[in-house]
Protein backbone atom coordinates (compact mmCIF):
# COMPACT_ATOMS: atom_id res chain seq x y z
CA UNK A 1 0.00 0.00 0.00
CA UNK A 2 1.08 3.54 -0.73
CA UNK A 3 0.84 6.46 1.64
CA UNK A 4 0.21 9.91 0.20
CA UNK A 5 1.66 12.75 2.23
CA UNK A 6 1.67 16.11 0.48
CA UNK A 7 4.11 17.53 3.03
CA UNK A 8 6.73 14.79 2.72
CA UNK A 9 10.10 16.16 1.53
CA UNK A 10 10.15 13.78 -1.47
CA UNK A 11 6.94 15.43 -2.73
CA UNK A 12 8.47 18.93 -2.73
CA UNK A 13 8.88 18.95 -6.52
CA UNK A 14 5.16 18.20 -6.94
CA UNK A 15 4.12 20.50 -4.15
CA UNK A 16 6.65 23.37 -4.01
CA UNK A 17 5.26 24.84 -0.78
CA UNK A 18 6.01 21.64 1.18
CA UNK A 19 9.28 22.95 2.77
CA UNK A 20 7.55 26.16 3.90
CA UNK A 21 4.60 24.22 5.27
CA UNK A 22 6.96 21.90 7.16
CA UNK A 23 8.68 24.92 8.70
CA UNK A 24 5.36 26.44 9.79
CA UNK A 25 4.30 23.11 11.27
CA UNK A 26 7.55 22.87 13.24
CA UNK A 27 6.78 26.32 14.64
CA UNK A 28 3.60 24.93 16.16
CA UNK A 29 1.07 26.25 13.66
CA UNK A 30 -1.83 23.86 13.31
CA UNK A 31 -1.37 23.00 9.65
CA UNK A 32 -4.51 20.89 9.43
CA UNK A 33 -6.58 24.07 9.73
CA UNK A 34 -4.71 25.65 6.82
CA UNK A 35 -5.09 22.52 4.72
CA UNK A 36 -8.82 22.34 5.42
CA UNK A 37 -9.18 26.04 4.62
CA UNK A 38 -7.31 25.62 1.33
CA UNK A 39 -9.41 22.56 0.47
CA UNK A 40 -12.61 24.42 1.32
CA UNK A 41 -11.60 27.27 -0.97
CA UNK A 42 -10.89 24.87 -3.83
CA UNK A 43 -14.16 23.01 -3.24
CA UNK A 44 -16.12 26.25 -3.07
CA UNK A 45 -14.68 27.46 -6.37
CA UNK A 46 -15.49 24.11 -8.00
CA UNK A 47 -19.06 24.30 -6.66
CA UNK A 48 -19.51 27.85 -7.93
CA UNK A 49 -18.18 26.95 -11.37
CA UNK A 50 -20.25 23.76 -11.80
CA UNK A 51 -23.46 25.32 -10.45
CA UNK A 52 -23.02 28.22 -12.88
CA UNK A 53 -22.45 25.91 -15.84
CA UNK A 54 -25.55 23.90 -15.00
CA UNK A 55 -27.69 27.00 -14.34
CA UNK A 56 -26.74 28.44 -17.73
CA UNK A 57 -27.62 25.15 -19.40
CA UNK A 58 -30.86 24.27 -17.58
CA UNK A 59 -32.04 27.56 -16.08
CA UNK A 60 -32.69 28.37 -12.45
CA UNK A 61 -36.35 27.43 -11.93
CA UNK A 62 -35.20 24.23 -10.21
CA UNK A 63 -31.78 24.12 -8.45
CA UNK A 64 -30.31 21.42 -10.71
CA UNK A 65 -26.77 22.73 -10.18
CA UNK A 66 -26.97 22.33 -6.41
CA UNK A 67 -28.47 18.87 -6.82
CA UNK A 68 -25.68 17.79 -9.19
CA UNK A 69 -23.01 19.21 -6.88
CA UNK A 70 -24.44 17.40 -3.85
CA UNK A 71 -24.82 14.10 -5.71
CA UNK A 72 -21.32 14.19 -7.21
CA UNK A 73 -19.85 15.29 -3.88
CA UNK A 74 -21.64 12.42 -2.15
CA UNK A 75 -20.29 9.96 -4.71
CA UNK A 76 -16.73 11.24 -4.34
CA UNK A 77 -16.79 11.22 -0.53
CA UNK A 78 -18.12 7.65 -0.54
CA UNK A 79 -15.40 6.61 -2.97
CA UNK A 80 -12.56 8.42 -1.18
CA UNK A 81 -13.70 7.17 2.24
CA UNK A 82 -13.45 3.55 1.10
CA UNK A 83 -10.32 4.07 -1.01
CA UNK A 84 -8.40 5.64 1.89
CA UNK A 85 -9.87 3.50 4.66
CA UNK A 86 -7.23 1.46 6.54
CA UNK A 87 -8.34 -1.57 4.46
CA UNK A 88 -8.44 0.42 1.23
CA UNK A 89 -5.99 0.54 -1.64
CA UNK A 90 -4.51 3.99 -0.88
CA UNK A 91 -3.40 5.02 2.57
CA UNK A 92 -3.38 8.78 3.03
CA UNK A 93 -1.98 10.71 5.91
CA UNK A 94 -4.59 12.09 8.27
CA UNK A 95 -3.84 15.60 7.00
CA UNK A 96 -4.27 14.64 3.34
CA UNK A 97 -7.52 12.82 4.10
CA UNK A 98 -8.85 15.85 6.01
CA UNK A 99 -7.79 18.12 3.14
CA UNK A 100 -9.86 16.08 0.66
CA UNK A 101 -12.84 14.99 2.74
CA UNK A 102 -13.37 17.91 5.11
CA UNK A 103 -11.81 20.66 3.03
CA UNK A 104 -12.43 20.07 -0.67
CA UNK A 105 -15.62 18.04 -0.37
CA UNK A 106 -16.93 20.08 2.55
CA UNK A 107 -16.45 23.24 0.52
CA UNK A 108 -17.84 21.60 -2.61
CA UNK A 109 -21.09 20.18 -1.31
CA UNK A 110 -23.82 22.65 -0.59
CA UNK A 111 -26.25 21.60 2.08
CA UNK A 112 -26.68 25.17 3.23
CA UNK A 113 -27.42 26.28 -0.35
CA UNK A 114 -29.82 23.36 -0.70
CA UNK A 115 -31.65 24.41 2.46
CA UNK A 116 -31.96 28.05 1.44
CA UNK A 117 -33.08 27.22 -2.09
CA UNK A 118 -35.67 24.75 -0.80
CA UNK A 119 -37.01 27.30 1.69
CA UNK A 120 -37.20 29.96 -1.05
CA UNK A 121 -39.08 27.57 -3.33
CA UNK A 122 -41.55 26.84 -0.53
CA UNK A 123 -41.98 30.55 0.27
CA UNK A 124 -42.67 31.21 -3.41
CA UNK A 125 -45.41 28.60 -3.34
CA UNK A 126 -43.41 26.15 -5.47
CA UNK A 127 -44.27 23.21 -3.26
CA UNK A 128 -43.72 20.61 -5.96
CA UNK A 129 -40.20 21.90 -6.68
CA UNK A 130 -39.41 22.26 -2.97
CA UNK A 131 -40.58 18.71 -2.25
CA UNK A 132 -38.80 17.30 -5.28
CA UNK A 133 -35.59 19.02 -4.22
CA UNK A 134 -35.74 17.48 -0.74
CA UNK A 135 -36.66 13.98 -1.91
CA UNK A 136 -34.24 13.91 -4.85
CA UNK A 137 -31.36 15.38 -2.84
CA UNK A 138 -31.69 12.91 0.02
CA UNK A 139 -32.25 9.82 -2.12
CA UNK A 140 -29.73 10.63 -4.85
CA UNK A 141 -27.01 11.69 -2.39
CA UNK A 142 -27.43 8.53 -0.32
CA UNK A 143 -27.34 6.44 -3.48
CA UNK A 144 -24.26 8.33 -4.68
CA UNK A 145 -22.36 7.67 -1.42
CA UNK A 146 -23.28 3.99 -1.68
CA UNK A 147 -22.31 3.87 -5.36
CA UNK A 148 -18.97 5.53 -4.60
CA UNK A 149 -18.25 2.75 -2.12
CA UNK A 150 -19.36 0.08 -4.63
CA UNK A 151 -17.03 1.50 -7.30
CA UNK A 152 -14.19 1.51 -4.79
CA UNK A 153 -14.84 -2.13 -3.87
CA UNK A 154 -14.81 -3.06 -7.58
CA UNK A 155 -11.46 -1.28 -8.07
CA UNK A 156 -9.93 -2.70 -4.88
CA UNK A 157 -10.60 -6.35 -5.72
What is the pLDDT averaged over residues 88-116?
87
Determine how many CB atoms are found less than 10 A away from the CB of residue 75.
Answer: 20
Sign of CA dihedral 111, 128, 139, 74: negative
Tell me which of 4-8, 95-99, 149-153 is least confident.
4-8
pLDDT in tens, 67-90: 999 999 999 998 988 888 888 888
**pTM to 2 decimal places:** 0.71
The string of pLDDT tens digits covering residues 24-53 is 666 656 778 888 999 999 999 999 999 999
CA 126 → CA 51, 66, 68, 69, distances in Å? 21, 17, 20, 22
Amino acid sequence: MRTLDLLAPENARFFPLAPLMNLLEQCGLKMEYLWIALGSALGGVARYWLSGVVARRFGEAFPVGTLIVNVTGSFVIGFVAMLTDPGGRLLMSVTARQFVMLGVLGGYTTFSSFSLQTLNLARDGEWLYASANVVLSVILCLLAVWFGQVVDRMINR
